[in-house]
Amino acid sequence: MKLKIDLHIHTKFSYDSQNDIEEIIKIAKQKGLDGVGLVDHDTTSGYSEMIRLGKENDIVVVPGVEIRVRGGYLLAYGNVTELPPKGITPEAAISILRKQDVLIAAVHPFKNGLGLKNHIYDLKLDALETVNGGAIFGDKSAEIAAKKLGLPKIGGSDEHFLGDIGSVVTTIETPGKSTKDILDAIKKGKTTIIQDKSVLRIIWFYIKKGLMKLIGCFH
């Protein structure tokens, strides 16, 4: 089967998002997605709610976490039971994650000049995010890197606002809907990426994030 999953979505458990998981799932279904990858910043606090609501609404939920490491970010998908401390080296974070049954990817490594950049060439990764919904530039460099490294490619909207859900989708050819089936399929490179990105959408995204921070300053 082929599943269409937006693999990079943030919920109310991230410091920079206010979206309820139930609303995310509702909109994902309305947009014809089969699943969502929920990857909050440096926390797994939403895991139980994610899994419960996914089952109740008959939509695949791939749990994960976006980890801030020195110089950039990593994504870990699966049941992360030990979270690497924020800000440690990517090598140290990967060492901790390798003890767990998870998929490790570098997220938006060249996004708008940010991310781990060429450091990814020194890391042992399972996949690379080559299309990020918030990247004005950097996707092409990530795609070139994935080819050089022989890594599977994934993509996601990097959603912090509900309207961005599904702007980047990873289609995964998998034998089943379990997290293990999906992650195994990604590791085997059975992915294609569909995107509906525009510079205006991305600029509006950053305007909204700026306004959200400004409003937060007055509370």
Q: How far is CA 96 from CA 43, 47, 67, 80, 200, in A?
A: 15, 19, 12, 10, 39
CATH number of residue 131's parent domain = 3.20.20.140
- 97: exposed, middle or buried (C-beta count within 10 Å: 0-12, 13-18, 19+)? buried
Start-to-end CA span in the chain (Å): 47
Number of domains forming the structure of the chain? 1
HSE, CB side, 13 Å, CA atoms: give it for residue 117.
Answer: 5
Predicted local distance difference test score (pLDDT) of residue 219:
34
What does the pLDDT look like over 122-174, one tens digit per residue? 999 999 999 999 888 889 999 999 999 999 999 999 988 898 999 999 999 99
DSSP state letter for 114: -
pTM over 0.75: yes
Range of the domain at 187: 2-217
Instruction: Give the DSSP H/E element, type plus range, for residue 38.
Output: strand 35-41
- C-alpha dihedral, 38 to 39 to 45 to 50, nearest 10°: 10
DSSP state letter for 137: S
CA dist., res. 148 & res. 150, Å (int): 6
Evaluate whether 170 touches 145 at the Cβ level (below 8 Å): no
**Residue-by-residue pLDDT tens, the chain, 219 positions:** 999 999 999 999 998 898 999 999 999 999 999 999 999 999 999 999 999 999 999 999 999 999 999 999 999 999 999 999 999 999 999 999 999 999 999 999 998 878 999 999 999 999 999 999 988 888 999 999 999 999 999 999 998 889 899 999 999 999 999 999 999 999 999 999 999 877 666 666 666 666 666 655 433
